[in-house]
Amino acid sequence: MQILIKGGRVIDPGNFNAIADILVEDGKIVKIKSNDNPRQPPTSNEQPATSNQQPESRTIDATGKIVTPGLIDMHVHLREPGHEYKETIESGCLAAASGGFTAICCMPNTNPVNDNSQVTKFILQRAMIADTVRVYPVAAISKGLEGTGLCEYGDLKDAGAVAISDDGCPVSDSQLMRRAMEYAKGFDLPVISHCEDLNLLAGGVVNEGAFATRMGLPGIPNACESVMVMRDIALSELTESPVHIAHVSTMESVRAIRAAKKRGVLVTAETAPHYFTLTEDDVGQYDTNAKMNPPLRSKQDREAVREGLADGTIDVIATDHAPHSSIEKEVEFDQAGNGIIGLETSVSLSLKLVEDGVLKIDELVEKMSTNPARILKLENGLRAGNSADITIIDPDILYTIDVENFCSLSRNTPFNGREVKGKAVLTMVGGKIVFEDKIK
């Protein structure tokens, strides 16, 4: 099938930014041509289809919309195997597609843990059956996420793993983390670090400060995250191995990463929309949908995260999509599961950064597509010959987030009912349209 995407603002950071037409054929980008007359109505070469025949060509009018390389979420929890009542690979892929993502990286804290090639292959097989978006497994750093013995990184990479992480369980043993960085470097596998000092965590459930005191809840200090960020920066410097810091939430972490980058340390970092949108006050009256780890922080931390995005200290916006059912969330606050879903709200929430002048639109695309691909060494970009992984975003749609319209099996989000502007309206993977909404 031939598809012509006509008249959109095509943004491929560092490569292309103009009103243009994109021709897709047999799953590949064939041509990108600047459109000298974007107001001219698109022409179509569509052939009439019989009831048993698919059209051989189609023209998509992308006038007023943004056309980007497929968005990549490098931090997602799909829950399968082991917790399919929260999310399956199929439902997670559908949620990703409806959120504008053409590729997602799934974390290893499943049951069984993705610490061996059999689990990695199982995930890829299930993703192939789902046949929606690309799924890239992230394997465990340590066996069983227990932080005591390293996994077989060579076998995991051969099976299809694109990175390693003990996300959800920090690697507390500094010597083990050093060996993991050295070992992973030999296989060219990025290390994604969940930075948390369990001794400082000490049973905390919200950000430490006046809010926690007022709510009568044990607090988590900023240092719980930042001291481990500093440790992993030091280990990266020692081993000359790259490290990627997950879900950055504190001012101190941003400062440490910024300083490390200035002296040439191979560190990259991500944050999530909830950390640049919400604060601890949004926990409200013990709203478990606003309980996550790291927790929502202070206004000062939120501003530091936004500054880190603006100056390039933070490279990536990821969702940390963490589905939970009512079983885990409709309980006492201190007993509730950590995490929120984010695949279907990320684009809308992140576009607010552009509206607020924190980022330019091409910088946002860089953080949601180009940089994740660079860190994970994935093919990316709107270039002739590349796979047609494309996202189309309408920046002007006004709508209210409604969890009942989500594809995810879970509903745990503090953003339900929020009015937002802009969303992904078409997602294409390998030339196949896997999601389409409000576009002809």
Residues noted as catalytic = 320
Give the number of other Cβ atoms within 10 Å of residue 287's Cβ. Answer: 13
**Nearest Cα to Cα of residue 339 among 131, 146, 83:** 83
**Nearest Cα to Cα of residue 104 among 59, 58, 70:** 70
Helix axes 223-239, 174-186, angle to 10 degrees: 50
Three-state SS at 233:
helix
Q: Rounded to the nearest 5 degrees, what angle is found at the Cα of 31, between the Cα atoms of 27 and 35? A: 130
Which helix (H) or strand (E) element contains residue 101? strand 101-106
| Residue 65 contacts residue 95 (beta carbons within 8 Å) | no
Helix axes 251-262, 299-310, angle to 10 degrees: 30
| Residue 241 contacts residue 181 (beta carbons within 8 Å) | yes
CA pair distance 59, 379, nearest whole angstrom: 25
| Residue 189 contacts residue 180 (beta carbons within 8 Å) | no
Which helix (H) or strand (E) element contains residue 420? strand 419-429
Q: Where are the alpha helices (DSSP H) in 197-335?
A: 198-201, 210-215, 223-239, 251-262, 273-277, 299-310, 326-329
CA pair distance 299, 195, nearest whole angstrom: 21
DSSP letter at 366 equals: I
| Residue 136 contacts residue 167 (beta carbons within 8 Å) | no
Strand partners, 150: 142
Measure CA 162 to chain center.
Answer: 14
| Residue 400 contacts residue 418 (beta carbons within 8 Å) | yes
Strand partners, 145: none
DSSP letter at 392 equals: E
| Residue 35 contacts residue 6 (beta carbons within 8 Å) | yes
